[in-house]
Structure 1
Amino acid sequence: MNPIDDMDADPIDVASHWCLQLADGRLQGDALARFQTWLDEDPRHRAAFDTVARTWQAFDASPAAPSLMAMREEALSHYARRQSRRWRRPAGMRRPMLAAVAACLLLAVAGWGWIQAQPDVYRTGLGERQLVRLDDGSQLSLDADTQVEVRYNHDRRQLVLRQGRARFQVMRDPLRPFSVSAGDRTVVATGTEFSVELLAAQVHVVLYEGSVDVLPRDAATSPPPSASPPSPSTVHRAREMRLVPGQELVAGIDAADARIREVDAPRTRGWESGQLSFNDEPLGQAIERMNRYAGSHVLATGDVPSASLRISGTFTAGDNEAFVEGITGVFPVTVREEGPRYVFVQRPGTSTPEEKMTTQ
């Protein structure tokens, strides 16, 4: 009989069997769910698995130590006797079989640690968008060229935005805070809706519903603050900030300052339907967003100081040619085609433009 299906089975036997399945690559899908259920239903089960894991972790760290050799032999002999009686095989196991079990258990421990350490990774390529539903019912909406790592455990939900932009619709669970780290900032929420964007020089956080606290990443484990919402259009040097719906936080990467401003929240979600909106933003930042969708040409600022051109307006994602036409039609700049790139350059005989462009 399979020890997993035997109600009277010794927890050590069952833990060993789970380890063997893990080492064999069979602990996936429904089997992985059954394993998690077995761990959770009785503290003795988790203790048994921890015992098996610790034994083989210790052996892996120092396999030649006499005490560990004895521990291994005892554990293997115990396992062999149990399985011999249970499966009606001859008592004892040949040494090659013992070695195989030892190897499987070592692999199991290493594999389980690797599974625990590795996050779930969701990513999109250039021009792609994706909607993801997480195990707790929360949802992620990923912009193009975006990567999000997700780690869930019993007391917290930790996500990291590695690149790009994503909107988070969080299922409320006060006992498990939901946090998203991007750059040197961490957004903490329990049940709300917000987006986080990571650019080369800035982190943007837009709140749609509920409330969130934004903390320096190294302070993210501190309890959520109870400060009242900050007024819009102010600069904060405090270690923690709270947003209310309709506000956007703009923070420089590795900078103490962060600006909070009022925004047109529905418009900031235009990227989910393929429309990219800019609100008095530097050319370089607008280019960074347009390049997530690339189109036939990638854009570059060239010799045009990107901070000198401020862009406001809405463009279709992936239509970099229309973006170029809009910029060159307003500013004294042109583009130079360099293979797959459109490079913005100043027109001969003109000075650095200090202008703003607005399109609809």
Structure 2
Amino acid sequence: MSGNRQTIDDSILEAAATWVARLQSDDATAIDRQAFERWLGEHPDHRTAYDELRALWSDLGEVPISEGRLGELQTQRRRRVGGFVGLCLAAGVAILSLATPYGDRWRADYYTGVGEVRRIALEDGTEVDLNTDTALVVRYEQARRTVRLLRGEAFFSVAKNPLRPFVVEDGALSATALGTRYSVGSVAVDQAAAVQVEEGRVEVEAAGQKAVLGAGEAATVDRQGRISLSKADVAAGTAWRDGKLVFSRRPLSDVLSTLERYRRGRILLVDEAAGSLEVSGIFDLRDTDDALRVLEASLPLRVIRLSDLMVVVQSR
């Protein structure tokens, strides 16, 4: 185990990243440093993990991270759940955590891994396309068919059965098919739940409110349960079913957030000005590295690849 990065426990990496963050802060005390030295001496892998993460911090020495942005990153870190692979960042250090959704996968009847998109057929003939990092539970009862979306996003081509309505629930809303093709899901933990209708009609219900959507319409539900309706380019919004990500005049911050969903690790945007740049294009979701290369070549950006699990983006 000693000296081999591939076999160092995630708990050690997490502790090492925490020590890097602590020792680089202005309020690190002598007691902290003494505790750190004791921790280093407890196992040879502690030194290996610390040296690696400290080197990553040094690599980012020229990357500015504002105080406000650092606070945002720390907040995002606290929201993460599941398994952890530690990496650290500059100017205060943000911890990289990979939200490994094992809990949802254990409960799920069907799921996809990060970067995986696949189609399944349910026993009633309904076809479901699962987007990246998605998990769902299927329950058939006498009076209705229910899909519980535990995480992620899915597109449903519903087999008609007027006697057994098809309902998708994701915790924020329920979407009942009235003979249709539609998607349901939240693309990030801090984003609203959404429904997009490609064909037919869908009845959306949230917090006692109801709305019926037709083809080309979308509904989002915010954290207060309020439903907002809008027109939608459903083909573009669900192009992931064909392995593509389509953007039309989208802020770079949104594009990077989407790309991050299809790769392991983090894409860290440390520059607010860069985040507002508009992006239009079509990318292959199976090759997010190529998408980053295209963005760097076509926009005034610098993409810094610290490791397979950490990419930093800033203005050039």
What TM-score, normalized by structure 2, do the two folds share?
0.58
Q: What CA distance in whole angstroms lies between the structure 2 residues aligned with 1:288 and 1:321?
A: 14
* Greater C-alpha Rg: 1
Q: What CA distance in whole angstroms lies between the structure 1 residues aligned with 2:221 and 2:250?
A: 14
Match of 1:317 among 285, 296, 313: 285
Runs of 4+ with >4 A deviation: none
Structure 1 spans left out of the alignment, 5+ residues: 1-117, 220-238, 348-360
Distance 1:244 1:306, change over 3 A: farther
Distance 1:183 1:284, change over 3 A: farther
Give 1:142 deviation, angstroms: 0.9
One-letter code aligned to 1:185:
L
One-letter code aligned to 1:211:
R
Q: What CA distance in whole angstroms lies between the structure 2 residues aligned with 1:324 and 1:171?
A: 39
Partner of 1:342: 311
Is 1:206 equivalent to 2:196 in the alignment? yes
Structure 2 spans left out of the alignment, 5+ residues: 1-105
Q: What CA distance in whole angstroms lies between the structure 2 residues aligned with 1:259 and 1:305?
A: 30
What TM-score, normalized by structure 1, do the two folds share?
0.52
Partner of 1:3: none
Give 1:122 deviation, angstroms: 0.7
Partner of 1:141: 129
Is 1:258 equivalent to 2:228 in the alignment? yes
Distance 1:208 1:146, change over 3 A: same
**Alpha carbons 1:126, 1:292 under 8 Å: kept:** yes
Partner of 2:240: 271
- For the aligned residue pairs, the C-alpha RMSD in angstroms reads 2.6
Q: What CA distance in whole angstroms lies between the structure 2 residues aligned with 1:148 and 1:287?
A: 25
Match of 1:333 among 272, 290, 301: 301
Distance 1:254 1:273, change over 3 A: same
Is 1:128 equivalent to 2:97 in the alignment? no
Q: What CA distance in whole angstroms lies between the structure 1 residues aligned with 2:266 and 2:246?
A: 18
Match of 1:240 among 186, 210, 228: 210
Describe the superposition over 1:134-170 as per-residue Cα deviations: whole angstroms up to 9, x where unpaired. Answer: 1211111112221112122111222122222211011
Q: What CA distance in whole angstroms lies between the structure 1 residues aligned with 2:226 and 2:275?
A: 20
Q: What CA distance in whole angstroms lies between the structure 2 residues aligned with 1:329 and 1:154?
A: 56
Partner of 1:289: 258
Q: What CA distance in whole angstroms lies between the structure 2 residues aligned with 1:305 and 1:186?
A: 38
Equivalent residues, number: 208
One-letter code aligned to 1:337:
R
Give 1:119 deviation, angstroms: 7.0
Is 1:153 equivalent to 2:141 in the alignment? yes
Describe the superposition over 1:173-212 as per-residue Cα deviations: whole angstroms up to 9, x where unpaired. Answer: 2222211123512211142111123122132322111100
Name the % identity.
29
Distance 1:344 1:259, change over 3 A: farther
Distance 1:251 1:294, change over 3 A: same
One-letter code aligned to 2:198:
Y
